[in-house]
């Protein structure tokens, strides 16, 4: 691609590889800007507010998040999948959006009512209401962006999120610097999501499709019939993501919620990249499901290779550099987060590896299988939290989360093998896995050398480790090619 052809490459869908690359590029720009803005804001807020005040924010966010999934109920993923496969389905978008309004109003009422039973602290209750509204508005933004993804027009989503990132930075930092409190941090999120939603609705109506309220029970039944397994799967998914923070807070361990959430926030950084990659591949994989099983397999293999290459060094580096990472981002009061960070970085790595299997089940219309997987893992997580949190506090919560993600990963692989036509593992993936494992070991040996480890901060070690890993990986790739050539 030349500079002259860059606008065409980045703004038009020409071929499938170019389209996937274009989508991932725009998602990286938009989602990356938003996530970076939110991350910097949260890191600053954590340092200013301290474990207890940030614990209130995290507990309220986790509790609200358990309910807000009812406002979407899997509709966003179904929209992207079905609209990508059949453009005629786009005519039903206004009806789906009308259903979304009804679900959202109901969800807000549930959050408001349940808050009186879950928390006794009126301040945390207010934070919960504010964050519930924020997540509701943000989920409206997500369902509109799902339409863009179906058309593979991620550049629209990118510009929206760049604007949201700038607005969040401006409003969020103003509130935290001028009026530092968990309530004002929550209020800044609500204000930003509301403004973005209003602007997005205007843009969508005038540029893409006129939005109107449509009462269409048949469309609602049809799409809810497809999305309910995903909706419940997301509910169970939210349980094994947030139930540990909720249970810690419910048992009065608010400071521990702050420490646990602080570690979780850092492990969420690499998950941004995972999300961007999977979102970039999802519409193309959905399209190939109808058009070509051979192309579907090839593209899925490519996605899985990328996830393996990224997951293994992240897990190795995260475990080895945990103390340097925590001390780089947080003051000494967050040192107790180091052991749980090591557990959660393994969870993040498993996320990279399992997402491709999860996605292929949905593409093959096997979302009910994913529902049962999430039901099992969320129930297991609740039981483990009841056993481990009273004994080991937030370290027990981290261990429970890791065990559940291991179970989740194993079940996703087995169900993908049974209920899809995808060859879930092959010689090429085996070579990639072997190369990634050995390259991660070499990387670990280099960054643990005393002259390297003790003379570099986290950033220096990260750069050295990344360079060593990808040099080793490139050498293995060339060796595999040479071996294939000599064997032919």
Rounded to whole angstroms, the Cα distance separating 72 from 141 reads: 11
Contact 29, 162 (CB under 8 A): yes
Backbone angles phi, psi at 388, to 5 degrees: -90, -35
- CA nearest to 18, candidates 160, 154, 161: 154
Same domain, 393 and 475: no
Same domain, 444 and 405: no
Confidence band of 5 (pLDDT split at 50, 70, 90): very low
Six token digits for residue 331:
């003051």
Contact 468, 443 (CB under 8 A): yes
Q: In this structure, what is the dihedral angle of CA atoms 185, 188, 194, 196, given to the nearest 10 degrees?
A: -120
Confidence band of 191 (pLDDT split at 50, 70, 90): very high
Q: Quick check: is 92 in a domain?
A: yes
Contact 325, 366 (CB under 8 A): no
pLDDT of residue 233: 67
Q: Quick check: is 6 in a domain?
A: no
pLDDT in tens, 310-326: 999 999 999 999 999 99
Same domain, 252 and 387: yes
Q: What is the mean pLDDT of residues 16-37?
A: 70
**End-of-domain residue from the set 425, 444, 467:** 425
Same domain, 373 and 247: yes
Rounded to whole angstroms, the Cα distance separating 139 from 194 reads: 11
Same domain, 300 and 439: no
- CA nearest to 481, candidates 436, 423, 432: 432
Backbone CA torsion sign across 4, 8, 10, 11: positive
With tokens 């933004």, the residue in question is: 141
Angle at which helices 458-487 and 322-329 pack, to 10 degrees?
140
Rounded to whole angstroms, the Cα distance separating 163 from 209 reads: 21
Six token digits for residue 476:
């293995």
**Which ranges constitute the DSSP H helices of 364-457?**
367-419, 427-447, 450-453
Residue 287 vs residue 266, higher pLDDT = 266
Contact 461, 445 (CB under 8 A): no
Confidence band of 341 (pLDDT split at 50, 70, 90): very high
Confidence band of 1 (pLDDT split at 50, 70, 90): very low
Contact 446, 392 (CB under 8 A): no
With a cut of 80, say whether residue 407 has pLDDT above it: yes
Confidence band of 19 (pLDDT split at 50, 70, 90): low
Q: Quick check: is 11 in a domain?
A: no
pLDDT of residue 389: 85
Q: Quick check: is 234 in a domain?
A: yes
Contact 261, 245 (CB under 8 A): yes
Same domain, 387 and 433: no
Name the region of 2 (left: φ>0; alpha: ψ -120 to 50; beta: rest).
beta
Q: What is the mean pLDDT of residues 294-319?
A: 89
With a cut of 70, say whether residue 143 has pLDDT above it: yes
CA distances to 24, 294, 474 from 313, in Å: 21, 30, 14
Give rounded-to-5 percent helix, strand, coil for the chain. Answer: 90, 0, 10
pLDDT in tens, 362-401: 788 777 787 788 788 888 888 998 898 888 888 888 899 8
Same domain, 415 and 452: no
Same domain, 143 and 126: yes
Q: What is the DSSP string of 81-122?
A: HHHHH-GGGGGGHHHHHHHHHHHHHHHHHHHHHHHHHH---H
With a cut of 60, say whether residue 136 has pLDDT above it: yes
Same domain, 364 and 439: no
- Domain hosting 467: range is 426-488
Contact 64, 128 (CB under 8 A): yes
What's the DSSP call for residue 422?
-
**End-of-domain residue from the set 425, 448, 472:** 425
Cα–chain center distance at 125: 26
With a cut of 50, say whether residue 352 has pLDDT above it: yes
Q: Quick check: is 98 in a domain?
A: yes
- CA nearest to 288, candidates 278, 296, 280: 296
Six token digits for residue 113:
């009512």
Same domain, 217 and 237: yes
Same domain, 119 and 179: yes
Contact partners, residue 268, CB within 8 Å, separation at least 6: 35, 39, 348
**End-of-domain residue from the set 376, 409, 425:** 425
pLDDT in tens, 409-454: 999 888 888 888 888 777 778 888 899 999 999 999 999 998 888 8
Confidence band of 6 (pLDDT split at 50, 70, 90): very low
Q: Quick check: is 135 in a domain?
A: yes
What's the DSSP call for residue 179?
S
Question: What is the pTM for the complete model shown?
Answer: 0.71
Q: Quick check: is 3 in a domain?
A: no
Q: What is the mean pLDDT of residues 247-251?
A: 74
**Number of separate domains in the chain:** 2
Contact 285, 356 (CB under 8 A): no
Same domain, 434 and 363: no
Cα–chain center distance at 346: 15
- The helix/strand/coil state of 477 is helix
pLDDT in tens, 32-69: 787 788 888 888 888 888 878 888 888 888 778 777 77
Contact 156, 25 (CB under 8 A): no
Q: Quick check: is 12 in a domain?
A: no
Contact partners, residue 113, CB within 8 Å, separation at least 6: none
């Amino acid at each position: 691609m030349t500079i002259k052809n860059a606008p065409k490459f980045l703004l038009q869908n020409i071929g499938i590889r170019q389209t996937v690359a274009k989508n991932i590029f725009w998602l990286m720009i938009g989602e990356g800007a938003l996530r970076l803005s939110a991350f910097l804001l949260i890191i600053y807020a954590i340092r200013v507010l301290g474990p207890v005040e940030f614990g209130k924010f995290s507990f309220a966010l986790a509790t609200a998040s358990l309910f807000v999934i009812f406002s979407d109920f899997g509709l966003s993923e179904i929209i992207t999948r079905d609209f990508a496969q059949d453009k005629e389905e786009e005519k039903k978008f206004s009806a789906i959006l009308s259903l979304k309004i009804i679900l959202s109003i109901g969800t807000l009422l549930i959050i408001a009512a349940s808050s009186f039973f879950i928390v006794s602290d009126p301040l945390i209750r207010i934070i919960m209401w504010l964050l519930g509204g924020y997540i509701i508005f943000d989920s409206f933004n997500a369902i509109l962006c799902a339409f863009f993804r179906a058309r593979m027009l991620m550049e629209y989503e990118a510009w929206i999120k760049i604007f949201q990132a700038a607005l969040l930075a401006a409003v969020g930092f103003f509130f935290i610097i001028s009026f530092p409190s968990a309530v004002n941090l929550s209020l800044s999120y609500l204000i930003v999501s509301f403004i973005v939603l209003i602007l997005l609705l205007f843009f969508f109506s005038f540029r893409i499709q006129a939005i109107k309220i449509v009462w269409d029970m048949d469309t609602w039944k049809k799409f809810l019939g497809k999305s309910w397994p995903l909706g419940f799967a997301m509910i169970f998914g939210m349980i094994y993501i947030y139930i540990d923070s909720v249970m810690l807070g419910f048992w009065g361990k608010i400071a521990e919620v702050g420490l646990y959430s602080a570690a979780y926030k850092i492990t969420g950084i690499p998950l941004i990249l995972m999300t961007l990659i999977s979102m970039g591949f999802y519409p193309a994989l959905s399209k190939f499901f109808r058009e070509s099983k051979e192309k579907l397999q090839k593209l899925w293999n490519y996605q899985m290779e990328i996830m393996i290459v990224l997951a293994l060094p992240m897990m190795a580096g995260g475990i080895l550099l945990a103390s340097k990472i925590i001390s780089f981002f947080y003051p000494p009061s967050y040192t107790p987060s180091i052991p749980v960070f090591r557990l959660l970085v393994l969870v993040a790595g498993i996320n990279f590896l399992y997402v491709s299997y999860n996605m292929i089940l949905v593409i093959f219309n096997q979302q009910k299988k994913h529902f049962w997987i999430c039901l099992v893992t969320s129930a297991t997580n609740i039981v483990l939290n009841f056993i481990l949190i009273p004994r080991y506090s937030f370290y027990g919560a981290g261990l429970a989360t890791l065990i559940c993600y291991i179970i989740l990963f194993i079940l996703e692989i087995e169900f993908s093998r049974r209920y899809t036509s995808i060859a879930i593992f092959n010689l090429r993936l085996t070579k990639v896995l072997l190369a990634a494992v050995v390259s991660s070991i070499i990387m670990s040996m280099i960054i643990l050398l005393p002259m390297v480890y003790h003379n570099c901060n986290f950033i220096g070690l990260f750069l050295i480790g990344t360079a060593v890993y990808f040099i080793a990986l490139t050498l293995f790739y060339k060796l595999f090619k040479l071996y294939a050539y000599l064997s032919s």
